[in-house]
A and B are shown apart, each in its own frame.
Chain A
Amino acid sequence: MSALTTSLTRTQSAWALPDRGKVGMAFLIIAESAIFTIFVVAYLFYAGKSLTGPTPREVLEPPIFYSICLLSSSLTIHFATKVLQRERRGAFLGLLSLTILLGALFLYGTGREWYRLIYEHGLTISANLFGTTYYSLVGLHAFHVTAGLLMLSIVLLFGLAGRVGGEHSARLDVLSLYWHFVDAVWVVVFTVVYVVAR
């Protein structure tokens, strides 16, 4: 009997399961990837099949500066999580604000690009197949950036109120997974829209 008890305690102490937040977020990311995959497939399938202009080659300009903004925001959120772990709240708030700023800059870039496309080139979502697939794919991504920015802003508000400490770094880690995903999707979207199917 005593042997049984010791073996039980040993199992219990060694019993470690993965963190729920990370697993849940990982599978949310898989589900979102499946949605993006369908939109990317539609974009590639319809590339060059528009019956009327404008075509991507005529009107698209790669938004390199804004892409750099978005990609570097992955770095800033990473370091924001790191410094939060070490309870350096000032640095955390600075890096988090920088992340939000970079994300917002990217959205501003998308907005300007859309404005140019609509008012200078007459490309709307109903203009042709290119317009339909372009605005849906880029718009779906921009929607995810917006959702991420909203969540980050909520964290920032709590942080400014002094309610975010090192004990929350695991949660911020989960949120940063989502943000990294949004950035990684942009790499795919950028490649597909501005490089492959141009």
Chain B
Amino acid sequence: MSSDVMAIQTAEGIADRPWVQTLHEWVTTVDHKRLGILYILYALLFLVIGGIEATIIRVQLMRAHNDFVSPQVFNRMFTMHGTTMIFFVAMPLVFGFANYLIPLMIGARDMAFPRLNAFGFWLTALGGFLLYFSFLGGSGLYGAGNAPDVGWFAYAPLTSRAFSPGHSTDYWTIALLVSGFGSISTAINIITTVLCMRCPGMTLSRMPLLAWLNLVMAGLVILAVSPLTAAQIMLSIDRYLGGHFFDTQAGGSAALWMHFFWIFGHPEVYVLVIPAFAFASEIIPVFSRKPIFGYPVMVAATICIAFIGMSVWAHHMFTIGMNSNANAFFVFTTMAIAVPTGIKIFNWLGTMWGGKIQFKTPMLFCIGFLFQFLIAGLTGVMMAVAPFDWQLGGSYFVVAHFHYVIVGGILFCIFGAFYYWFPKVTGRMLSETLGKLHFWLFVIGFHLTFDAMHIPGVLGMPRRIYTYEPGRGWEIWNLIATLGAVIQGLAILIFVANLVLSYSRGPKAGNDPWDAWTLEWSVSSPPPSYNFASIPTVSSRRPLWDRKHPEDPDSRYE
């Protein structure tokens, strides 16, 4: 088909094109922007599913001796909630934004390997499908077991044939294996894109922090997801070929699975939080009307976090009885990681300090993130103290802590990113009124749920407990937590409504609604499929500032 025929087709209107053709275009696309959107829509779908599972858990725990669901269903719910939220919500969201934004921000026309990019997305999609297919196919020939119910970290020997008959655990294994291959291929793609596709003048020290931080994130994915892949292969060998890796009766070790899982599991936290840092590092400067404070230190602190983050995993295992040398090592590394993280918080505060702060919705979410992530970090340092962990490990205090990180820290930044880049992706602004309502409702719901959750943990409530006796002082806190979950659900509904309504009715955004400084705002909204008509050349960290203020360009000071 010649190019003028294509042009006529686009011009003649999208309306009379058959929907099959549109679907075909989206399914076969290798465009980084479309794949980014696919990742994000896919993650939003699973966010709703995972949210429903969380609500079922919260309703079950609302009062003592509740039997809203059976214990078997409860086990499936917390397993599926954890697995879904980490692998099929948080990871695809992170990859979706990275896919969409990195080429635009570094002045490239696409990722380094567009077809590999599509391959990665469809593998992730297949993984999520397999996980949820277990609800139908998990019984296998045995008629026992349904969805996976081994917990999201699937400790041995729960995963052995004796305790997990049927195929539900295998669906869990294969889902993570398949989506893991997808994650690794996307990570390789991100690294190669950042290293090999930058536009002229964009040296590593001029790259937007988002590109830098996603580069580090992708490196962590490669080092962290690969061990999980290896461990899942071993588990499959145990379950299908009669291997003994995690079979204690044949001399295998249950603790080895824990090590292998957490060698993945802890860096995974940084895989998720570093892109959240990236969003904050782009949004906070723009709405403070100041360049980021301490750019090189931010990069160094990120690399430092990734480096230390690879050697803290066993702080998830203080309660299994490691020797005191191992305990001491992991206490120190875990505490050390608070230092670069603290540096980052001070840098964001330094960026806001003396700035002309605009309290738009993206900025509100980032400010919420700053406060909540600080508290999450502080309870993290508490948990890092091994004796303290012996008391509270495996309690609701831990559940509260990591939800503070993932919801209060990561999800808040992701919401901020939605409000900030939605105009670029769709060409329409999200409603500020609905956005602020979403923010405040979510803040209230979040704090009701997760502040309250710390206390029954301190009072001895174990995580994953199906129900509990009255009169232990747990009831009121659980009731508050459930109430907060309902408010959060309401806020999410407002957010989805905002996305849907603003997509068709929001005010036109124009190229650069926030008066920002990175290259994605130099092209139209939504960007053309080729991104840049001519590849830009940059000479500072804020190329658009240079273009808007030729009398006082940044390049003069860098």
Which A residues are within 8 Å of any B CB, using their own CB?
A: 8, 11-12, 15, 17-20, 23-24, 27-28, 30-32, 34-39, 42, 45-46, 49-51, 125-126, 128-129, 132-133, 136, 140
- Tally chain B residues at the interface, Cβ within 8 Å: 41
- Is there an interface contact between B244 and A129, defined as CB atoms closer than 8 Å? yes
User: Are A31 and B222 in contact, CB atoms less than 8 angstroms apart?
Assistant: yes
Could you count the A-B residue pairs with CB atoms below 8 Å apart for me: how many are there? 111
| Closest beta carbon of chain A to B449's beta carbon, Å | 36
Within the complex, what minimum Cβ distance (angstroms) separates A39 from chain B? 6
* A46 lies within 8 A of B201 (CB): no
Partner of A129, one of B192, B195, B252: B252
- Report how far A132 CA is from B233 CA in the complex, Å: 12
B293 within 8 A of A: no
The docked-state distance in angstroms from the alpha carbon of A129 to that of B256 is 13
| A34 B226 Cβ-Cβ under 8 A | yes
Given contacts A15-B200, A27-B191, A136-B233, contact A51 B251 (CB under 8 A): yes
Q: How far is the CB of A134 from chain B (nearest CB, A)?
A: 11
Closest CB pairs A-B (n = 7): A126-B242, A34-B226, A38-B230, A132-B243, A15-B200, A24-B192, A31-B222
For A28, what are the chain B residues with a Cβ–Cβ distance below 8 Å? 188
B504 within 8 A of A: no
Query: Does B253 lie within 8 Å of A132, measured CB to CB?
Result: no
Q: Which residues of chain A are within 8 angstroms of B419 by Cβ–Cβ distance?
A: none
A126 close to B198 (CB less than 8 A): no
- Can you report 14 residue pairs joining A to B where beta carbons are below 8 Å apart? A11-B539, A18-B196, A23-B112, A27-B187, A30-B223, A31-B187, A39-B234, A42-B234, A42-B256, A46-B251, A51-B250, A125-B237, A129-B251, A132-B238
Given contacts A15-B200, A128-B244, A129-B244, contact A31 B227 (CB under 8 A): no
Cβ-defined contact, A136 with B234, below 8 A: yes
Q: Are B243 and A31 in contact (CB under 8 A)?
A: no
Residues on A with C-beta less than 8 A from B295 are none
Apart from the given pairs A8-B537, A27-B188, 12 other A-B contacts in the complex at a CB distance below 8 Å: A20-B112, A23-B196, A31-B187, A31-B225, A31-B226, A34-B227, A34-B230, A38-B230, A38-B260, A39-B230, A125-B243, A126-B242
Provide the bound-state CA to CA distance between A176 and B380, in Å.
45
Q: Mark B229-241, 1 if CB is under 8 A from A, else 0.
A: 1110110011001
Task: Given A27-B188, A125-B242, A128-B250, decide whether A35 and B227 contact each other with a Cβ distance below 8 A.
Answer: yes
CB pair A20 B250 closer than 8 Å: no
Residues of B within 8 A of A (CB): 112-113, 116, 184, 187-189, 191-192, 195-198, 200-201, 222-223, 225-227, 229-231, 233-234, 237-238, 241-245, 250-253, 256, 260, 263, 537, 539
In the assembled complex, which residues on chain B have CB atoms less than 8 Å from the CB atom of A34? 222-223, 226-227, 230
Smallest beta-carbon distance B553→chain A, Å:
10
CA gap between A136 and B233 in the complex, in Å: 9
- Bound-state CA distance A31–B224 (Å) is 9
Point out the residues of chain B lying under 8 angstroms from A132, CB to CB.
237-238, 243-245, 252
B184 touches A31 (CB 8 A): yes
Query: Nearest chain A CB to B26's CB is how many angstroms away?
Result: 25
Q: Give A8 to B195 CA distance when docked, in angstroms.
A: 21
Q: How far does the alpha carbon of A15 sit from the alpha carbon of B106 in the complex, in Å? A: 14
Instruction: Give the CA-CA distance A12 to B198 in the complex, in Å.
Output: 12
Task: Report yes or no: B188 in contact with A31, Cβ–Cβ below 8 A.
Answer: yes
B222 and A27 form a contact (CB under 8 A): yes
- Interchain CB contact (< 8 A) of B251 among A17, A35, A37, A50: A50
Which residues of chain A have C-beta atoms less than 8 A from B234's C-beta? 39, 42, 136
